[in-house]
């Protein structure tokens, strides 16, 4: 058993002073506000629930600082991304993902949803262990000290019109949903790992197969990130991608739609009315010039929000949360569109990746904590409640995952993260 003292703690949607937090067996067993007695470890600053990174492609981390300065489009960026995808094998992917997940831990992320489609060898031939790449990701998360939900992705074609996979895309495909399902059945869960599913997009899976994954949860899908996807979907199916998912019974609380940037009013109603989750990835969406999604309207319609660092142009849940609100301000010309409590709920939405028992500092929940310094050049003088809108990942001092102290005094306890990143990417 370990007892922590949090100088300021985010409890029940507000900041409370002097909170004692008892952890036993990886769970919170006692939470006592206004207590100053003997404790094992003191967390100065503001203590928040552990953050969930609901949308990650670990290998995109290798593109950091290499693609952002150029002109071009989402589609030319995708060519660069495919070049990285073509070069990885299970061993090099383990190194890259381990370093990337350790960077996430340093930023206050305690669980990642890995949207995984880099399955097979370079020409599409399965590895000896057909889940070698998925197992590398699960091992990477274990070594980095965070939980993972492997959202193993069904990817069957290269366009809405049914064009076959080509080039590096052959690494992504299993041929049909049955072969995908039998491979995924070979993925073992672990105490830190859960297996979920993903449909890459309405581009990559024929419409008549969409419903086959509908009852799998957590289920994720890229949705309407680019207007081109909407146009292609309309040309082939005569409806929006959201309407296509509705037609095939895929919408619902088990589903998280990633991006959901270019939606019609009807799409917003369908997504919200069905309780479909929405994962926005503001730092990636701005890097790729995708556009601004309709976070406030989707939340009002009934969609729980979550956040992802997606392409890892930035790994900083504070920046993602802040960008969600700031994008709303730019688009609406109104301030305070999402409250701090709503932003923390989105940043700590572990349920979106299947960890329903995490994301809150409350008795019985998984013991994830993130301590944020309130005495840095960015945060000094800030009110603790406002610190979320001032802090960055660099202000995280301590991270506890399932009761284990993974980041202490701004350092990862097991990995030299900058060095591991440099070695994995060079």
The whole-angstrom separation of Cα 174 and Cα 126 is 9
Binding mask 288-317 for Zn ion (x = CB under 5 A): ----------------------x-------
In the bound state with Zn ion, the residue whose beta carbon lies nearer, of 311 and 397, is 311
Residue 259 appears among annotated catalytic residues:
yes
Q: How is 222-242 classified by DSSP, letter by letter? A: EES-SHHHHHHHHHHHSS-HH
Binding mask 310-349 for Zn ion (x = CB under 5 A): x---------------------------------------
Residue 377 CB, shortest distance to Zn ion, in Å, is 33
In the bound state with Zn ion, the residue whose beta carbon lies nearer, of 242 and 261, is 261
Q: How is 116-168 classified by DSSP, letter by letter? A: E---S-TTSPPPSSTTHHHHHHHHHHHHHT-EEEEEEEE---SSTT-PPP-GG
In the bound state with Zn ion, the residue whose beta carbon lies nearer, of 20 and 283, is 283
In the bound state with Zn ion, the residue whose beta carbon lies nearer, of 310 and 316, is 310
Sort strands 51-56 and 109-116 into parallel, antiparallel or unpaired: parallel
DSSP 258: E
In the bound state with Zn ion, the residue whose beta carbon lies nearer, of 77 and 318, is 77
Taking each continuous run of H as one helix and of E as one strand, the counts in the chain are: 13, 16
Residue 56 CB, shortest distance to Zn ion, in Å, is 8
Structure tokens at 211: 């419903």
In the bound state with Zn ion, the residue whose beta carbon lies nearer, of 315 and 367, is 315
H helix or E strand, kind and range, residue 103 = helix 90-106
Residue 181 CB, shortest distance to Zn ion, in Å, is 22
**Contact present, 296 and 338 (Cβ < 8 Å):** yes
Structure tokens at 70: 């150029």
Count of CB atoms situated within 10 Å of the CB of 162? 11
Options 267, 287, 290, 310, the catalytic residue: 310
DSSP 190: B
Residue 151 CB, shortest distance to Zn ion, in Å, is 10
Options 220, 259, 262, 412, the catalytic residue: 259
Residue 8 CB, shortest distance to Zn ion, in Å, is 34
Residues 6+ apart with CB under 8 A from 32: 19, 20, 22
Residue 160 CB, shortest distance to Zn ion, in Å, is 17
Structure tokens at 207: 């419409």
Which residue's Cβ has the minimum distance to Zn ion? Answer: 310
- Residues near Zn ion (CB under 5 A), total: 1
Count of CB atoms situated within 10 Å of the CB of 236? 16
The whole-angstrom separation of Cα 51 and Cα 316 is 10
**Contact present, 223 and 198 (Cβ < 8 Å):** no
Residues that bind Zn ion (CB under 5 A): 310
Residues that are catalytic:
259, 310
């Amino acid at each position: 058993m370990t007892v922590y003292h949090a100088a300021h703690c985010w409890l029940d949607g507000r900041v409370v002073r002097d909170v004692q937090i008892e952890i036993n067996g990886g769970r919170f067993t006692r939470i006592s506000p206004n207590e100053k007695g003997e404790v094992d470890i003191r967390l100065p600053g503001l203590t928040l629930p552990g953050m969930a990174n609901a949308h990650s492609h670990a290998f995109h981390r290798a593109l950091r600082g290499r693609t952002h300065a150029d002109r071009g489009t989402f589609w030319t960026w995708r060519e660069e991304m495919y070049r990285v995808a073509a070069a990885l094998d299970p061993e090099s992917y383990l190194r890259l993902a381990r370093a990337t997940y350790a960077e996430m831990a340093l930023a206050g992320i305690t669980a990642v949803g890995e949207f995984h489609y880099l399955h097979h060898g370079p020409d599409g031939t399965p590895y000896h262990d057909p889940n070698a790449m998925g197992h590398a990701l699960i091992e990477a998360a274990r070594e980095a000290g965070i939980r993972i939900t492997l959202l193993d992705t069904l990817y069957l074609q290269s366009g809405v019109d049914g064009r076959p996979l080509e080039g590096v895309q052959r690494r992504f495909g299993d041929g049909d949903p049955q072969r995908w399902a039998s491979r995924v059945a070979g993925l073992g869960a672990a105490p830190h790992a859960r297996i979920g599913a993903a449909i890459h997009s309405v581009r990559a899976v024929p419409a008549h197969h969409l419903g086959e994954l509908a009852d799998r949860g957590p289920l994720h899908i890229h949705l309407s990130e680019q207007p081109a996807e909407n146009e292609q979907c309309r040309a082939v199916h005569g409806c929006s991608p959201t309407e296509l998912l509705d037609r095939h019974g895929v919408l619902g609380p088990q589903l998280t739609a990633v991006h959901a940037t270019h939606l019609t009013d009807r799409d917003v109603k369908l997504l919200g009315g069905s309780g479909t989750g929405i994962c926005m990835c503001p730092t990636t969406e701005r890097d790729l010039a995708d556009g601004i999604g309709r976070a406030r309207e989707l939340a009002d319609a009934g969609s729980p929000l979550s956040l992802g660092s997606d392409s890892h142009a930035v790994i900083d849940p504070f920046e993602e949360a802040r960008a969600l609100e700031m994008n709303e301000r730019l688009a609406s010309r109104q301030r305070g569109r999402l409250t701090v409590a709503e932003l923390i709920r989105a940043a700590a939405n572990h349920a979106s990746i299947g960890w329903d028992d995490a994301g809150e500092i409350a008795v019985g929940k998984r013991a994830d904590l993130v301590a944020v310094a309130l005495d840095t050049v960015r945060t000094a003088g800030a009110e603790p409640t406002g610190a979320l809108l001032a802090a960055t990942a660099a202000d995280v001092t301590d991270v506890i995952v399932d009761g284990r102290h993974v980041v202490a005094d701004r350092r990862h306890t097991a990995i030299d993260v900058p060095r591991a990143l440099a070695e994995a990417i060079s």
